[in-house]
Structure 1
Amino acid sequence: MQTNRISRKEQDKIRHRNYILTAALELFSEKGYHSVSMQEVAAKAEFAIGTLYKFFKSKEELYKCLIMTKAHEYHDTLYEVLSEKKDVVSIISDYVSAKFRLFDANASALKLYIVGSSGTYYNIQTGFDHEIQSLYNKLLNHIAAVMESGISRNVINNTNPYFMALALEGITNTFLYNLLENLEQDYSETDISVITEMFLHGVLKK
């Protein structure tokens, strides 16, 4: 029986790449894209500049890889929650909680992504905006499928499920954006429950 084991060389390559991405995240979050040089990233990751360029040909490529890596991790976690074999209300509640947990674990990356996705840090011609939008559309479709399931079970009002997905994202993202602007501000599980109830109040059948 064959096993797909990764060689020691490949393991080292993955580990070194992750060191670089971690260093880049810290520097970009602290100083902003334009104020960080590849030399600084190499020094932070404790690699020679030549080694850094073996992994990433330019700062733009490094930045794009960093954001897309974090975006895939973020969305994959949310897909798992949305695919759980639970009732619709529990899935929605778990989804909102998961977004806040991800915020706690990835505040720096999320802030970097939000600033970058405004167009400040990348050239639209790279296709970066298309990749991000594609991921987000996939997430919205997953949420809409959950809403559609709730409609078919007569739990949720018979409203356009995609619009409900947009509404859920709008409510949760508004609160998360506010937290990003006020990182010293704290929140509790009660706050998350209130946000969830705000959405459910509008979509659940009375």
Structure 2
Amino acid sequence: MQDEKLPRREREKRRHRRQMLAAALELFSKKGYHNVSMHEIAKRAEFAIGTLYKFFKNKEHLYKALMMEKAAEYHHTLSGVLSREGDVLTILKDYISAKAGIFADDVATLRLYFAETRGASFNIKAGLDQDIRKLYDELVEQLASTLEKGIRKNVLRDLSPYYMAVALEGLTNAFLFCWLEDPEQHSYEANAPVIRDMFLKGVMAE
């Protein structure tokens, strides 16, 4: 909707940029950063190599733009869930489920995101890891704030809200990784109730 208000030339420019990033995402997720060239990206996006360089000065710059854009979308969605008013348990339930929705049709982004956040990617001199880490830390703090509300209302145990947030992130990401490895056997969406039960009730038999 926002793009429609822009001049035609600017809309075209944004559309071309999205096409280039989509092509890069597909190639990076399949072949890895080091095995993809700017020429391959240009060919996949169906643009001249000179046009690609008008948008991105080099492959590192392109990769950073791609990862930051995807990470920002990811954190914006989850932050929106945590910003809602209402019952803490419902918010936590929606938060867990929201992760499935983000990556349901975007396995390529999930693969790259895990490669970056788990340290399996290349070392980016431009500081992408710090930028993504900042986004991630802000999200964890917001999740901790939501958990703290649950503690104040005696809905959750009186534990460190920060470590509870870290634990929930670790649990959901572990299930996402299983889903990435074998989507048919380890559906994240189908396992969302299991995640909620394990986090809120623990694993000890009553």
Q: TM-score, normalised to structure 2's length? A: 0.90
Cα displacement string for residues 124-165 of structure 1 (whole angstroms, at most 9, x for unaligned residues): x32111101101000001100101111121211111111110
Residue aligning to 1:71: 71
Q: Percent identity?
A: 51
Specify every segment of 5 or more residues in structure 2 that has no aligned partner in the other structure, as ranges.
Answer: none
Shift of 1:32: 1.4
1:71-102 alpha-carbon deviations (Å, 9 max, x no partner)? 00111000111111220000000000001222
Give the SS at the match of 1:159: coil
> Match for 1:187: what amino acid?
S
Residue in structure 2 matched with residue 168 of structure 1 by the alignment: 168
Match of 1:131 in 2: 131
Aligned amino acid, residue 111 of structure 2: K
Q: Do residues 154 (structure 1) and 127 (structure 2) align?
A: no
Query: Where do residues 84-95 of structure 1 align in structure 2 (5 Å cutoff)?
Result: 84-95=84-95
Query: In 1, are the aligned partners of 2:81 and 2:91 still within 8 Å (CA)?
Result: yes
Contact 1:60–1:122 (8 Å) recurs in 2: no
Residue 115 of structure 2 corresponds to residue 122 of structure 1:
no
Which position in structure 2 is the counterpart of 1:12? 12
Q: Does structure 1 conserve the Cα–Cα contact (< 8 Å) formed by 2:81 and 2:95?
A: yes
Deviation at 1:190, TM superposition (A): 4.6
Which is further off, 49-58 or 180-189? 180-189
Equivalent in the alignment of 1:57: 57
What SS does the corresponding residue of 2:5 show, helix, strand or coil?
coil
AA at the equivalent of 1:161: P
**Paired residue for 2:38?**
38
Cα offset, 1:103, TM superposition: 2.5
Give SS of 1:105's match: coil
**8 Å contact 2:100–2:188 — kept in the other structure?**
no
Instruction: Measure the CA separation in 1 of the matches of 2:84 and 2:18.
Output: 30
User: Aligned pair in 2 of structure 1 residues 6, 186: CA closer, same or farther (>3 Å)?
Assistant: same
* Aligned residues of 1:19 and 1:45 also touching (Cα < 8 A): yes
Q: Distance in 1 between matches of 2:108 and 2:23?
A: 12
Q: Which residue of 2 aligns with 1:104?
A: 104
**Matched residue of 1:126: which SS?**
coil
Aligned-residue offset at 1:36? 1.0
CA contact (8 A) 1:140 1:165 kept: yes
Amino acid at match of 1:128: L
Distance 2:187 2:37 in 1: 35
Change beyond 3 A, Cα 1:174–1:60? same
Farther-moved stretch of structure 1 (172-181 vs 15-24) = 172-181
| Structure 2 CA distance for aligned equivalents of residues 6 and 181 of structure 1 | 41
Quick check: 15-24 or 177-186, which moved more? 177-186
Aligned residue type for 1:158: D
Amino acid at match of 1:37: S
Tell me whether 48-57 or 180-189 shows the greater mean CA deviation.
180-189
Aligned to 1:24: 24
